[in-house]
Structure 1
Amino acid sequence: MPTFYDPGADAREASEALRGLAHATRTFESPQDLYGVLGDLLSGVRSLKQVLDQLATAHIKNRPHAFDDHGDHTIGSKDALAAADELHQAATLIDQAEERLDAAAGAASRVAWHEVPASEAPTIARWINVVFMQGQEADEVLEMIDADGALAGLNHLKYWDYGDETTSAAMENGYVYDAPPSGPSEHELHDGGYHLAYSHAFAHVALYRIHAVDTVDQLPDDARSLAVPSAPSRARESKRVSWFEPASITAVKRQRGLGL
């Protein structure tokens, strides 16, 4: 226990406590303990800065009693001043460390620790729309498919895939599917994580990419029940504002009186 009056005894106890903490923090069984440890360390660092400043002041105040081993007061006084200066410098560095530790504690306070690591969290596959073209734009790709094959068209449409940006846009707009939409008179091609759908009769082409969704990000069951079926009927298609508009959005529009 600290004495609050004996600097030597309290310094020894602080040293032992830090040794124990260094040993204990080699592993953390519960990451929820991290924030509490940071908070206590922050308090300790602030106290350490105060201790260093007080040690520097003590060296200056006690200069009249400072001598070297040979009894030279001038040299002893000079070394006391040097020690005080170094202690002030150390306190300044500790002040900077306190700022960084305070920032670390602030960031740590925003972390929500889960029992199951992300690498073990179950995921499911969803298809996101990368690009949809119709009319003249689609005609150019369809001509490429006729000339060089469907794979050439698929690889060409990959240039519209901007990774996370494309995924975010699809998520925000609801262009996410259990299976790539497939309509009448459409041809399809799978290649790796991509799916190409195209139709000469309706003059459109579309590219989809597989995307893994963590269970924490999945839609609830009632929302997933509105997902686009892999092979919708012609009658359902006629009720949609757009064939490639997600069924969930169409349903919401109808409920709000915004759809046809």
Structure 2
Amino acid sequence: MLTFTDPVADAEEAYEAMRALAHASRTFEQPEDMYGVLGDLLGSVRSLEQVLTQIATAHESSRDRAADDAGDRATGVRDALTTAGELRQAAALIGEAERRLDAASAAAGRIAWHPAAEMPEVGHRINVVFLQGGEADRLLDLIDQGGADAVIQELAGYDYGDETVDAALENGYVYDTPPQGLLDCTAQLDAYTLVYNQDHRHLALYRHMDVLPSPVLLGLEDPRHAATTTESPSSAIAAPSGVRAGPILAREAAREQSRRDRLGTPAIRREQPGRQTGRGLGR
């Protein structure tokens, strides 16, 4: 409970209040509430500047009672005056923070918040590929030179549509949102999200599990033939060597047709020149 007479008790009360606010302000259910919080913080900062100046003055006025642990008064006076000087510097910095906060509050007061638009459910993300160290160096350098889009287009070559989804489901590389560290950067292109870290030398590509990217946009299909391609969903499925093809073709075609019917998206058909060891690795 505030006393207005006991600085020790009131300082403890102020600390607990700020600690509670730091916890509560992690999220705002109603964005319009932020303006009122800023107003209260502005008043708090002004009071803090006053408190620091008053404590500095108290150190100066009480310096004749100061001494160090050994009883040396000269040292105590010097430390009291040093404390007062640092507190006045802190008060000056708080004054600058007050002016910035005042400007922020004024700008916030001009915002008219509208109800949030309902966002469509985008589903889970699967990991398409994860590369690190020497495998990632060339692509990370390419990000610096030409941007992330070119890297996403190249890494899209690791995406084999349903096969990639099945591998991610089997190995547990499915996420609500792409995993991201504090120092990671992200970039998006079509259905893909690229997460990369130049310092730690790694990058990973993710996409929405139930969305295939545009083959034309990513260079996976010739736009001149995109509208006329009528390939049968089972025509590109090949049975493993040494295994009876009939039952496998029927089962794989049925599974692929089921997913394609559900998603309404095309399967990715491309030559597979050689699988990279990084394809399908999680973080």
User: Normalised by the shorter chain, which TM-score bucket?
Assistant: 0.3 to 0.5
Q: Which has the larger radius of gyration?
A: 1
Q: TM-score, normalised by structure 2?
A: 0.42
Higher helix proportion = 1
